[in-house]
Amino acid sequence: MTQLCEVEFKGSRREIFQYGLELPLRTGEHVVVDADRGEDCGVVISKGMLAKLKLRDKEVSRQIKRRCSEEDLEQIKKNEQQELDAFKACKVKIQEHNLPMKLVDVELQFDHSKITFFFTAEQRIDFRALVKDLAAIHRTRIEMRQIGVRDEARRVDGYGRCGRKQCCTSHLKEFEQISTQMAKEQHLSMNPSKISGNCGRLLCCLRYELEFYQEQNKRFPAVGLKIQTPGGMGTIQEFNIFSEKITMRMDDGSIESALFSPQMMQAVQIEKEVSANSPVKEEPAADVSESTEKVSQTEKTVQFEEPPPSDQEQPEPPTLPEQNLSQSLSQTADEPMENKPIEKIKRRVLPTDQNEE
């Protein structure tokens, strides 16, 4: 029988592990766990059902080996000092190679089988020469990992504007996309210093209450609409979803505020229906007369192009003798079409058709 627990490592990195019932654990204890290559050390932050909920249908293959002994705790302190020395040495080497990168953190695995350097950069960096120098100094496997500014804030850790620990270090596992539209829908100031976190990006907490604000905004009329009030017509300037008050600018220029009521929305709906059903303004009379004159002129020109009627009967086309007609037909049947133009054939056949009619 095994149970689950969540272990946190340096840089707010968290993973779920298994452990047996013969190894009772408590939150806050240091434990030694299985790593990709070797062993690593972390702190238990949750266990049991809470850790199972955080698992989210993922498989767990790694296990907790043991609790940390006094020797292990001393080794952790030595590793922290070695990480500081590696950080300073790496910064010196970066300056020697003149690389455009910013070193953020260094993490040494518990059994010294790997050391990881975290850095940020605006573009891809060719650090092959740097890795050779670091491998010659530390005599272990070197890993260079490029991260973003949000991951940098997570590893450095800190507190937000609310006074609480950063969301990315306390409970967030993945970063979601945040836009300024979320701040607008929550009626927040567009001042970058007020809606940005320690990483310089938009606050992750802008997404937490977004659905609530979207539902509440549907209850209120849009900003800029005109509504009828007992004091006259007013244009909505802003509204507060918590106090349910609407601020309006009246036609006389004064500013008034009133409690929101469903009757206001009904008045807005009636105004929209009236504006939608209002007739289209007719064009001036002068323009209509000009258009009618143009139409009459076009009609006159069309009528003028038609052939004038005549009372005299049209003369009938001359008839050909039957012998000449039979000779012409026999000639056209014997000779190929290429030698006889189509126009001449039409001229010979057309009169006979008219006579037969």
Tell me the domains of the chain and their CATH numbers: 2-68 (no CATH), 75-147 (3.30.300.20), 155-215 (no CATH), 219-275 (2.30.30.60)
> Where on the phi/psi map is residue 164: left (φ > 0), alpha (ψ -120 to 50), or beta?
beta
Long-range contacts of the stretch 76-85 (C-beta < 8 A, 24+): 76/30, 76/41, 76/110, 79/108, 79/110, 79/112, 82/108, 83/107, 83/108
* Number of residues in the chain: 357
Alpha-carbon span 174 to 166, nearest angstrom = 13
Its pTM surpasses 0.75: no
Q: Roughly what angle, to the nearest 10 degrees, separates helices 342-356 and 322-334?
A: 140
Evaluate whether 31 touches 25 at the Cβ level (below 8 Å): yes
Distance spanning both ends of the chain, measured CA to CA: 109
Residue type, 185: E
- And the tokens for 12? 């707010």
Q: Which residues contact 309 (CB under 8 A, 6 or more apart)?
A: none
pLDDT tens for the 357 residues of the chain, in order: 688 888 989 888 888 888 887 788 888 999 999 888 888 999 998 888 888 887 777 778 788 888 898 999 999 999 999 999 999 999 999 999 999 999 999 999 998 889 999 999 988 889 899 999 999 999 999 999 999 999 999 888 889 888 888 988 888 878 888 999 999 989 888 888 889 999 889 999 999 989 999 988 888 888 888 877 777 788 888 888 888 888 888 888 888 887 877 666 665 555 555 555 555 454 444 444 444 444 344 343 333 344 445 444 555 555 444 444 444 444 444 444 444 444 444 444 444 444 443
